Every structure is written in structure tokens, then in C-alpha cells.
């Protein structure tokens, strides 16, 4: 079995969930890259350079944001790596990291609801399925994008585990630079 790297006091389920996030984002990125390079996954009305840059940029951004979830279970989520200018070696503010992660989860949940509404209510001719030519393309699109539904709840769960763990770490050490000593 593959060993997933994490800090020793992180619950196993949180480690698995954090490592799952970049993997669940990957299929949609592969779909967008395939679309960009002309694979017959959907009909493209504007195959220009701007559309390609958008698709590839969105793919890279989504994977980078998904990768940040690993910081909630790894050392670099508690202390900034030394190689970072101005921040290297400083402790990560757990309140800020938790807030950012939970805000991200809330935003992802809202986006998921909105895009699901747009897709299935048919309120826009710009929905992804409006550019599909057949059932095979629809199945592929849904298979690639359906895992994204799990991103928000996984991120929220890992963020809450991070918050709980960091709060107990602060209480044990008597420091108060990361989180307040009160319980949520």
C-alpha cells in the first residue's frame, strides 16, 4: 500500500481526503487539455489562442488550488518553507489558513450549485453540454466533471480537522500565535 506523507498527528482520514482532492480535480483538467488540443470531446466555436490560454490557465489554477489542500496535513501548512521570501520559516497563521480553506470550500459549493443549475435548467446556451455532439461526449463530460462535486466537502472536512488539530497543538504548547484557545 502506498504511504501518504503527512504529519504524525493528522488523522488518517484527513490525509486520504487531502490527497484525494488533487486527484478528483485532475479528470476535468484532462478534459480541458484534450479540448484545447483538438480531441473530439466537444465542439469548439472559438478555437483561438484566447480560448486555449483560458482552458490551460483554468486547468493549472484548479490543480494548484487543489494542491494547497495538502498543506492542511503537511508541515508546510504549519511553517512556511524556508525558500519563500519574507515568509520562510515563519509559522502559518492557522486562523487565516482555516478561513481561506473554508471560504474556498464555500465558494466551490456555490460554483457547483450554480453550474449544476445552469447545466440542467438550460438557462444558458454557454453550458458545457450545449457544445456536445453526442451521448459519448456527454458521458465523458459528466465522468470528468462529476468528481468535482466532492471537492468542497473534502476541503471543508480537511480544513476543520486542521483547525481542530492546530487548536489542540496550541493548547498543549501554551502558545497563542496560531489560534485562540477557545473551542469552536
The domain locations on the chain are 15-76+94-173
Backbone angles phi, psi at 33, to 5 degrees: -65, -45
The answer to whether the CB of 28 falls within 8 A of the CB of 144 is yes
Q: How far apart are the first and last CA of the chain?
A: 35
* Residue of 150, 71, 146 whose CA lies nearest to 105: 150
pTM of the model: 0.81
Q: For residue 96, is pLDDT > 50? A: yes
pLDDT number for residue 124: 55
* Neighbouring C-alpha atoms within 13 Å toward the C-beta of 45: 7
* Residue of 180, 149, 150 whose CA lies nearest to 166: 180
Which residues have CB under 8 Å from 184's CB, separation 6+? 163, 164, 167
pLDDT number for residue 171: 53
Model confidence pLDDT, tens digit, residues 118-134: 666 655 555 555 566 67
Amino acid at each position: 500500500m502506498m504511504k501518504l506523507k503527512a504529519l504524525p498527528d493528522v488523522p488518517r482520514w484527513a490525509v486520504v481526503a487531502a490527497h484525494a482532492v488533487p486527484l478528483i480535480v485532475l479528470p476535468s483538467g484532462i478534459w480541458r487539455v484534450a479540448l484545447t488540443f483538438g480531441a473530439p470531446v466537444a465542439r469548439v466555436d472559438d478555437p483561438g489562442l484566447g480560448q486555449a490560454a483560458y482552458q490551460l490557465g483554468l486547468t493549472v489554477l484548479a490543480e494548484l488550488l487543489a494542491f494547497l489542500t495538502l498543506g492542511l496535513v503537511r508541515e508546510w501548512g504549519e511553517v512556511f518553507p524556508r525558500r519563500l521570501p519574507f515568509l520562510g520559516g515563519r509559522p502559518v497563521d492557522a486562523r487565516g489558513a482555516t478561513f481561506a480553506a473554508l471560504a474556498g470550500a464555500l465558494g466551490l459549493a456555490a460554483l457547483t450549485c450554480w453550474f449544476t443549475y445552469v447545466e440542467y435548467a438550460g438557462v444558458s446556451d454557454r453550458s458545457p453540454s450545449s457544445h456536445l455532439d453526442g451521448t459519448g461526449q456527454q458521458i465523458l463530460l459528466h465522468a470528468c466533471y462529476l468528481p468535482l462535486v466532492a471537492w468542497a466537502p473534502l476541503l471543508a472536512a480537511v480544513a476543520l480537522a486542521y483547525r481542530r488539530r492546530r487548536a489542540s497543538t496550541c493548547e498543549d504548547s501554551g502558545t497563542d500565535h496560531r489560534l485562540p484557545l477557545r473551542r469552536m
